Structure 1
Amino acid sequence: MPIERNPILMIKGIKDAQFIEEFLMLYRNKVYRQSDLLRLIDWKISLKLNNINQYDTLFEDHYLQSFRIKICCNELPTCANLKKRKPDLYDEDWKCNFCKIEEETFDHFWKCSKIQNVVQDILKRLKIF
């Protein structure tokens, strides 16, 4: 049977599929396994935007990759997440560090009026990308 595709691209496609499967099998990513949500995710673009490279070996690359995955999985250390992890350590009354009004959740972090200029700049740069 002749190979109708560049073998290197074929192997890369197989490795990307294996990486996505391993990512989805992590317990923290179970929300992405819902079939209706799974169809909405463009994995090719997601891997490119997150610059996820399973072959990176530098510590800095892993740190950045970890940060990007935490963003995707709503695992940034917001006050809301920290309170869930250690309720005895974090005061329930703590609010957003920027606006001091609302609870600092993942969604609020991106919508907070005090950092909208920064968020808009990030979105603008992503559109150029």
Structure 2
Amino acid sequence: MSELLAPCILQFNSLPVNMNIWKFIRDIFDAKSLLTLAVLPRFNPISSLFDINWTCTKFYKKQFFSHRNGCSEFCAFRIKILLDMLLTLTTLQRQKPHLYDPSWPYPQCNSSPETLNHLWTCPYILSEYSPLITFKTLLLALRSNYLDKFISTSSLKSLPNSFAAEFTAIDCWDCDLPSPSCLRLARGLIPKSLTGFLRDYFLPFTIWSILDTPLHDFHFDLY
């Protein structure tokens, strides 16, 4: 009788691979691509990489990379927002310092660099034309939209009476003087403070699915 041979058990980092091998390999390359994106120098000034939920951000990016509704131009525009490639003065100073003096500030206030974030936070713009007011109005509308959707969605456990108050107190909604998490969300980077709170009540895929479309609409209206 011929000797019986045990089937080959694939391992990764000493752990058995108990899933479809092609999906496993695809997930490995997806993770490497996401890591390549996450460590780009352009993200360094934003915050610690650990403050961003990259898995949720990846899910969201996949939706607009698909050119939803045929809006390929808006897709390209949002990629530029994410990668800080819009032609603000600081971007031009970085790309063409021989034409744009690096010492030039934002002309409205003449005191701070003209970054994408500063366009929403500059206090020296006339109130009736203030982009900050537009930003706050749209962000608070997004918060209300999300809150309504999560309250009406099946959850892992009953939502406490304090759910709405705790949700609205998350730092990504702090837009009076926009917090780092708030500005990340405006760039399309999902903060962990938001998803970390929601994971106590909802499955990850439920969270990602609810965050997707309203955030797309928020970016469309904002930019």
Q: Tell me how far apart the structure 2 counterparts of residues 43 and 122 of structure 1 sit (CA, whole Å).
A: 24
Report runs of 4+ in structure 1 exceeding 3 Å deviation. 13-21, 30-33, 36-39, 47-60, 91-95
Q: Which has the larger radius of gyration?
A: 2
Q: Which residue of 1 aligns with 2:76?
A: 66
- List aligned pairs for 1:113-128, cutoff 5 A: 113=123, 114=125, 115-127=131-143, 128=145
Query: Which structure has the higher relative contact order (CA within 8 Å, separation 6+)?
Result: 2
Q: Alignment partner of 1:87: what SS? A: coil
Identity in percent: 24
2:40 is aligned with 1:29: yes
TM-score (structure 2 length as normaliser): 0.38
CA RMSD of aligned residues (A): 4.1
Shift in alpha-carbon separation, 1:40–1:86, aligned structure 2, 3 A: same
Query: Shift of the alpha carbon at 1:108?
Result: 1.5
More helix as a share of residues? 1
Shift in alpha-carbon separation, 1:29–1:59, aligned structure 2, 3 A: farther
Q: Alignment partner of 1:108: what SS? A: helix
Unaligned 5+ residue runs, structure 2?
A: 1-18, 126-130, 146-213, 215-223
Unaligned 5+ residue runs, structure 1?
A: none
Query: Shift of the alpha carbon at 1:92?
Result: 4.5
Q: Tell me how far apart the structure 2 counterparts of residues 31 and 104 of structure 1 sit (CA, whole Å).
A: 15
Q: Which residue of 1 aligns with 2:110?
A: 101
Q: Write the letter of the residue equivalent to 2:91.
A: N
